[in-house]
Every structure is written in C-alpha cells, then in structure tokens.
Amino acid sequence: MSNVAFALSLTVFAGLATGFGGLICIFAKTTNKKFLSACLSFSAGVMIYVSFAEILSESFEYLESAFQSGYTIATLSFFAGIILIALIDKIFTHDDDVADLINPKSDKSNRISLSSVDQRDLKRTGVMSWVAVSVHNLPEGLVTFMAAMYDPALGIAIAIAITIHNIPEGIAVAAPIYYSTGSKTKAFRASVAAGLTEPLGAVIAWLLLQNIFGDMDGLFGITFAVAAGIMVFVAIHQLLPTAQKYGKHHVVMRWLFAGMAVMAVSLIVLEGLF
C-alpha cells in the first residue's frame, strides 16, 4: 500500500504542474518568450533522454525476460505509443502559441478588447484546450504510476519530466479562459482540473490492468515502450517547434542538451538512492 501511495503522490504532483502553469498565466505581467523557449527546450531534452536512456531500455529488459520476441514487442509498442498520441493530438488539437496568450492587450475588466463573437471563440479555444490536455494527461498518469510502482527511481525521473512539460500545458488551458471571461478563478480551476486527470487515469488503469494481465513484467514492459513513444512524440512534435518559434536556434539547442544532462545526472543520483 505504501508503494501505491508513493506512486499516486507522484502522479498528483506531476498533474498539479498544470495548475502552476495556470498561475503563471493569470499573474504574469509580461510575456517572457525567451524564458518560455528555454523551459520548453529543456523539457524536450529531459523527455527525449529519459525515454531512450531509461524507459525504453527498461522495456527491452522486461519484455525480453517475459517473451521470446520481447525486443520486437517493445519496438512495436514504442511506435504504437507514437501513433496513439498522434491520433489524440489530431482529434483534440489545442493552441500551442501559449506565449501569445499571456497578458495580451486588455481593458480594465481583464477581458481582451475583442467583439463578443471573438470572446466566445476564445472561450471555446480554452474549453478545447482543456479537453486536449486532459486526454493527453491520462496516459502520462498511467506511465508515472506504473513506473513508480515497479521502480521508484524511474517513477521520479518520469514525474520530473512530465511536471516540466505540464507547466506550458497549464498556460494553454488557462490563458484563453482567463482572457475571455476575466475570471482568474475559472482559469485556475480549469488548469488544475486538467492536471487531475493524471492521477485519475493512473488509478483507473491500475485497477483494470492488474486484473487483465497475469504477467506484470510484460505489462510494465509494454507500458514503458508506449510511454517512451508518447514522450518522444510530445518533445519533437510539440515542445521543440514551439521553443524554436520563441527562441534562437542555438539557445534552444543549448537548453535541449542541458535538459538531457540534468536528467542524466538525476538518474545517476536516483539510482544510487533507490
């Protein structure tokens, strides 16, 4: 039970990072695009490194011990994760230009100086962003929970990567709602609610999957490979292009490799602790 509590607490921590992103949005006085670019590229480096150096290698190990064709299963699961998140991204698209949504020109009521039709459209963008981020967070919660249950060090590493990634997602949810309604409370609640789908998805998936799969090594191996595919897709398809848009190429690359280096050191330290 202590392992379950630890794993659940990690998913809650990672999920609540969207709420932190919402706070950044509604209390930001200036748009710091350079800072956003650095955060996004750093997060991409973290996610790419941990996916290939740790998560996917763990998947190979577990699946090769469980199945004769474990390497093939892991490889197929990796690309299945990419296809899964690509389909989710296509169905539930949301506005990635989060920097443009922070502190736009507004009047004293905190509403953007647009027509009522434009405000309604902006609010709809916020709702769609909430749906998109909520759906994206479900598999992330599953991955963090399962990893922490089986390997606490890996669970912490994944939680750190997802936490960094969830901050700009919280901005993407909160910004259009805040600037279309003028309500900080609604914007913050929306960002927190989107993040809480992570622990919800983790618990539901754990209760269902542990009764379906008798071989837990095989389950963890497939889950890790799918997770690696999801995280690599998010880093390359979402984080890096947005970072490039708001920052210079050499700066983005610098923070990308800085994220990899920090995650590499973190994994070494966490392996020593656990």
Tokens of 170: 């919280």
pTM of the model: 0.67
- The more confidently predicted of residues 267 and 200 is 200
Top-confidence range, 3-7, 24-28, 31-35:
3-7
**pLDDT tens for each residue of 128-159:** 667 667 766 777 788 788 788 878 888 888 88
Task: Quickly state the pLDDT bin for 206 (edges 50, 70, 90).
Answer: confident
pLDDT of residue 194 exceeding 70, the answer is yes
HEC profile of 169-197: HHHHHHHHHHHHHCCHHHHHHHHHHHHCH
Q: What is the CA radius of gyration of the chain?
A: 19
Give me the helices (H) in the chain, please.
Answer: 2-15, 17-27, 33-50, 56-66, 70-91, 116-150, 152-181, 184-195, 197-212, 216-233, 240-246, 249-273
Find out whether 242 and 94 touch, Cβ atoms under 8 Å. Answer: no
